[in-house]
Structure 1
Amino acid sequence: MQVQLNTLQDAVRQAAAERKVLRLRGGGTKDFLGQSPQGEVLDTRGYAGIISHEPTELVITVRAGTPLAEVEAALAAKGQSLAFEPPHFGPGATVGGMVAAGLSGPARASVGAVRDFILGARFINGKGEDLTFGGQVMKNVAGYDVSRLLAGSWGTLGIITEVSLKVLPVAPAEATLMCAGLAQAEALELLHRWGGQPLPLNASAWVHDTTAQPGQDMLFVRLRGAVAAVESAVGTMTADAQALGAQVTRMDNAQVVADWMASREQTLPFFTAPSDDACLWRLSLPQTAPVMDVPYAQYIEWQGAQRWLWAPASAATALREAAQRVGGHATLFRQSADRQASLAMAQDVPVFSPMSETLQRIQRNLQQQFDPHGVFATGRMGA
Structure 2
Amino acid sequence: MSSALDSLTERVRAAAADHTRLSIRGGGTKDFYGQPAEGEILDTRPLTGIVDFEPSELVVTAMAGTPLSELQAVLAEKGQCLPFDPPHFAVGATVGGMVAAGLSGPARAAVGSVRDYVLGAQLLNGRAELLDFGGQVMKNVAGYDVSRLLAGSLGTLGLITRVSLKVLPIAPAEATLHFDCDQDEALELLHGWGGQPWPLDASRWALQDPADPASGALHLRLRGAVAAVQSACAHLGGTRRDADEAGRAQAAADWSACRDHRLDWFAARAAGHDLWRLSVPQTTPVLAGSVAAAGEPLVEWHGGQRWYRADAADASLAAALRRAAADAGGHAVRFRCADPLAPDRFAPLSPALARIQEAIQHSFDPGGIFHRGRLHAAAA
Instruction: Output the CA distance in 2 between the equivalents of 1:255 and 1:277.
Output: 31
- 1:277 corresponds to which of 269, 272, 280: 272
Counterpart in the other structure of 1:266: 261
Q: Does structure 1 conserve the Cα–Cα contact (< 8 Å) formed by 2:182 and 2:214?
A: no
Is the alpha carbon distance of 1:377 and 1:92 closer, same or farther for their aligned partners in structure 2, counting shifts above 3 Å? same
> 1:13 Cα shift?
1.1
> 1:378 Cα shift?
5.3
Amino acid at match of 1:108: R
Q: Does structure 1 conserve the Cα–Cα contact (< 8 Å) formed by 2:86 and 2:105?
A: yes
Instruction: Output the CA distance in 1 between the equivalents of 2:269 and 2:336.
Output: 13
The reply on whether 1:253 has 2:255 as its aligned counterpart is no
1:90-109 C-alpha deviation (Å, 9 max, x unpaired):
11100000000000000000
Which stretch shows the higher mean deviation, 266-275 or 361-370? 266-275
Instruction: Output the CA distance in 2 between the equivalents of 1:281 and 1:120.
Output: 31
Counterpart in the other structure of 2:97: 97
Instruction: Output the CA distance in 1 between the equivalents of 2:268 and 2:356.
Output: 36
> 1:214 Cα shift?
8.0
> 1:6 Cα shift?
2.3
Q: Helix, strand or coil: the match of 1:379? A: helix
Counterpart in the other structure of 1:150: 150
Q: Does structure 2 conserve the Cα–Cα contact (< 8 Å) formed by 1:201 and 1:221?
A: yes
Q: Helix, strand or coil: the match of 1:233? A: helix
TM-score normalised by length of structure 2: 0.93
> 1:50 Cα shift?
0.3
Counterpart in the other structure of 1:361: 355
Which stretch shows the higher mean deviation, 107-116 or 11-20? 11-20
Q: Does structure 1 conserve the Cα–Cα contact (< 8 Å) formed by 2:107 and 2:301?
A: yes
Q: Helix, strand or coil: the match of 1:192? A: helix
For 1:124-203, what aligned pairs fall within 5 Å after superposition?
124-180=124-180, 182-203=181-202
For 1:235-246, what aligned pairs fall within 5 Å after superposition?
235-238=234-237
> 1:192 Cα shift?
1.1
> 1:291 Cα shift?
0.6
Amino acid at match of 1:284: S
In structure 2, list runs of 5 or more residues that go unmatched: none
Which stretch shows the higher mean deviation, 257-266 or 350-359? 350-359
Amino acid at match of 2:319: T
Instruction: Output the CA distance in 2 between the equivalents of 1:49 and 1:137.
Output: 20
Instruction: Output the CA distance in 2 between the equivalents of 1:215 and 1:191.
Output: 19
> 1:273 Cα shift?
4.5
Instruction: Output the CA distance in 1 between the equivalents of 2:239 and 2:5.
Output: 54
Which stretch shows the higher mean deviation, 18-27 or 266-275? 266-275
> 1:115 Cα shift?
0.3
Amino acid at match of 1:95: V
Q: Does structure 2 conserve the Cα–Cα contact (< 8 Å) formed by 1:179 and 1:249?
A: no
> 1:233 Cα shift?
0.8
Counterpart in the other structure of 1:328: 330
Q: Helix, strand or coil: the match of 1:4? A: helix
Amino acid at match of 1:248: T
Counterpart in the other structure of 2:306: 307
Instruction: Output the CA distance in 1 between the equivalents of 2:213 and 2:285.
Output: 26
1:245-266 C-alpha deviation (Å, 9 max, x unpaired):
xx53443322200000000000
For 1:336-351, what aligned pairs fall within 5 Å after superposition?
336=338, 339-340=339-340, 343=341, 346-347=342-343, 350-351=344-345
Amino acid at match of 1:374: G
Runs of 4+ in 1 over 6 A off after TM superposition: 211-214
Instruction: Output the CA distance in 2 between the equivalents of 1:212 and 1:38.
Output: 40
Q: Does structure 2 conserve the Cα–Cα contact (< 8 Å) formed by 1:21 and 1:375?
A: yes
1:38-64 C-alpha deviation (Å, 9 max, x unpaired):
111110100110001100000000000
1:186-225 C-alpha deviation (Å, 9 max, x unpaired):
1111111111111100000011111797851100000000
Number of matched pairs? 365
Q: Does structure 2 conserve the Cα–Cα contact (< 8 Å) formed by 1:3 and 1:47?
A: no
TM-score normalised by length of structure 1: 0.92
Amino acid at match of 2:224: G
The reply on whether 1:352 has 2:354 as its aligned counterpart is no
Q: Helix, strand or coil: the match of 2:161? A: strand
Q: Helix, strand or coil: the match of 1:144? A: coil
The reply on whether 1:233 has 2:232 as its aligned counterpart is yes
Q: Helix, strand or coil: the match of 2:24? A: strand
Counterpart in the other structure of 2:364: 370
CA RMSD of aligned residues (A): 1.5
Instruction: Output the CA distance in 1 between the equivalents of 2:152 and 2:37.
Output: 15
Amino acid at match of 1:49: G
Instruction: Output the CA distance in 2 between the equivalents of 1:332 and 1:212.
Output: 25
Q: Does structure 1 conserve the Cα–Cα contact (< 8 Å) formed by 2:178 and 2:217?
A: yes
Q: Does structure 1 conserve the Cα–Cα contact (< 8 Å) formed by 2:241 and 2:251?
A: no
Counterpart in the other structure of 2:113: 113
Is the alpha carbon distance of 1:113 and 1:66 closer, same or farther for their aligned partners in structure 2, counting shifts above 3 Å? same
Which stretch shows the higher mean deviation, 9-18 or 63-72? 9-18
